[in-house]
Amino acid sequence: MRVGLTFDDVLLVPKYSDVKSRKDADIRTSFTRGIQLSVPIVSANMDTVTEAAMAVALARLGGIGVIHRFLSVEEQVSEVLKVKRSEGVVIEDPITLGPDRTVHEALGLIGDRDIGGIVVVDRSRKVLGLLTRRDITLEDDLSRKVSEVMTPRSELITARKGVSMEDAKKTLHSNRIEKLPLLDGRGNLAGLITSKDIMKRKQFPSATKDSKGRLRVAAAVGVKGDHMERSRRLLDAGADALVVDIAHGHSAYAIDTLKEIKRELGDVEVVAGNVATARGALDLIKAGADAVKVGVGSGSICVTRVVTGSGVPQLTAILDSVRGAADSGVPIVGDGGIRVPGDVTKALAAGASSVMIGSLFAGTEESPGPTILREGVRYKFTRGMASLAASVDRRVREKGTAGQRDDEVIGEVIEESVPEGVEGLIPYKGRVDEVVKQLVGGLRSGMSYSGAHSLAELRRNAEFMRITSAGYKESLPHDIRKVV
């Protein structure tokens, strides 16, 4: 019988190092065959972890977020659009409104999409004016027409489609304006450049961006029901990768879906999972996966191993899957079980190209949901996607089509369900960039202990040593009264 190991069972043996500064450690990596990251960190497709705010924050930092799929198709598409529109060199398809709509509607749109302004166009997309947040936030009469409060075309500064970024910057600056609508030869809307986006480009030099300068984002899909329609719509909205999300990814369901997406939707990056074995990884790669997500029962909110008796401790799962993927060059995403920065170093030293993180990010500002105050301490809520509460919510959302009452649905789910996830509170941790800073700092330092200038070198130099419980105890702070 083999022994399965996880992060706490091992340490990396320090190696001779000529890495002069942690900054010299190059942590660039691949998320999928076609998507590169500056930071090997991915946020989990869980409904308490990744919607647009998290995906934007992570992409700016150089990682990527996976929008969860426990939303209607429209809602998930809207989250993807928020990321794609959040910044870019040129917003190709800006949000617009007709001149006869009301200030009330404009405010709703500005709030929903979290944007600073709307271009006003007629039916043929001819530009009539620009409405900014400032024009309407203090407007008392919400029934006024957009055309009455906008900056009209005659006073609007615009530029021709194809304007150089330098010229656009000069125009924005010399006119002290924040938005520059781009027009084609007929005066129709052809794009928008904003000063905020230009500033963000400087502020986040390592951001994960597509060829048009927009932040990258991935989105999860299932293997049944609306998954093909969902995939199509997500790709139309600009999703950079699809993540086929199924607990047991080494299955006919996952393989068939992967093949179907590859066959029907053409040139699309697909991450498939979850698996925990060499064979599982290899079978998904043969079916066309551009990355394989590894982790069965490793998640902090996960009780799969307890309920089913199945799973593989995460370090062994990564080592085995990396072996299965070895000749293909397909990256492995180590999913679940990351609790401390050293776990990231160990996962990447074992050969994962990136790590996916759930609960560690669920406590941050950017995760969906409010903070909760309990006995003076701030928390956020998190839950496994196979928890009872998540199953109930999912079925209540779907019931519309079945025409059932909420209480009937809830009763049914409770009766049928064998949850493989739990729910709970997680201490509030502030902004996600603070958490990522700790993880990346730990990784860079860990690479220097392994004498590694790059992640490939980390993998080559890695010598894992299995430790005992006494060794583990020694690794933690001991024999002091901890103050901080």
State the minimum distance, in angstroms, from the CB of residue 300 to ligand XMP: 4
Which residue, 118 or 350, is less far from ligand XMP as judged by CB?
Answer: 350
When the beta carbons of 181 and 358 are compared against ligand XMP, the nearer one is 358
Tokens of 97: 């409104």
- Closest to ligand XMP by CB, 127 vs 356, is 356
Closest CB 290 distance from ligand XMP, rounded Å: 18
- Write out the DSSP string of 393-456: HHHHHHHHHHT--HHHHHHHHHHH----B-EEEEE--B-HHHHHHHHHHHHHHHHHHTT-SBHH
Closer residue to ligand XMP in complex, CB, 285/390: 390
Q: Using an 8 Å Cβ cutoff, are 451 and 17 in contact? A: yes
Task: Kindly list the residues in this chain that would bind ligand XMP in the complex (CB under 6 A).
Answer: 44, 46, 247, 274, 295, 297, 299-302, 304, 335-338, 356-360, 384-387, 420-421
In this structure, are residues 281 and 321 in contact, taking their beta carbons and an 8 Å threshold? yes
Calculate the CA 186 to chain-centre distance.
39
The pairing of strands 218-221 and 64-67 is parallel
Based on the residue annotation, tell me whether 302 is a catalytic residue of this protein. yes
Peptide bond before residue 274 is cis, with ω within 30 degrees of 0: yes
Answer for the pair 41, 355: CB distance below 8 angstroms, yes or no: yes
CB of 390 to ligand XMP, least distance (A): 7
Are 195 and 178 within 8 A, CB to CB?
yes
Query: Quick one: tokens of 37?
Result: 């990251």
First to last CA, the chain: 42
CA angle 475, 478, 479 (to 5 degrees): 155
Spot the catalytic one: 149, 302, 350, 440.
302
C-beta closer to ligand XMP: residue 344 or 452:
344
To ligand XMP, the closest distance from the beta carbon of 340 in angstroms equals 12
Where does residue 313 fall: left (phi above 0), alpha (psi -120 to 50 degrees), or beta otherwise?
A: beta
Burial of residue 345 (CB within 10 Å: 0-12, 13-18, 19+) is buried
Tell me which long-range contacts 22-25 makes (C-beta under 8 A, separation of at least 24): 22/441, 22/444, 22/445, 22/447, 22/448, 23/444, 24/453, 25/443, 25/444, 25/447, 25/448, 25/452, 25/453, 25/454
CB of 247 to ligand XMP, least distance (A): 6
Residue whose Cβ sits closest to ligand XMP: 421
CA distances for 279 relative to 3, 283, 317, 326, 337, angstroms: 18, 6, 11, 12, 21
Q: Retrieve residue 6's tokens.
A: 């996880």
CB of 346 to ligand XMP, least distance (A): 14
254/338 with CB nearer ligand XMP: 338
CB closer to ligand XMP, 283 vs 335? 335
Tokens of residue 255, six digits: 């393989």
**Does residue 146 contact residue 101 with C-beta atoms inside 8 Å?**
yes
Secondary structure of residue 284 in the 3-state scheme: helix
Task: Provide, rounded to whole angstroms, the least separation between the CB of residue 457 and ligand XMP.
Answer: 26
The encoded tokens of residue 420 equal 């493989």
Question: Helix/strand/coil (H, E, C) string of 65-132?
Answer: EEECCCCCHHHHHHHHHHHHHHCCCCECCCCEECCCCEHHHHHHHHHHHCCCEEEEECCCCEEEEEEE
User: Which residues participate in catalysis according to the annotation?
Assistant: 302
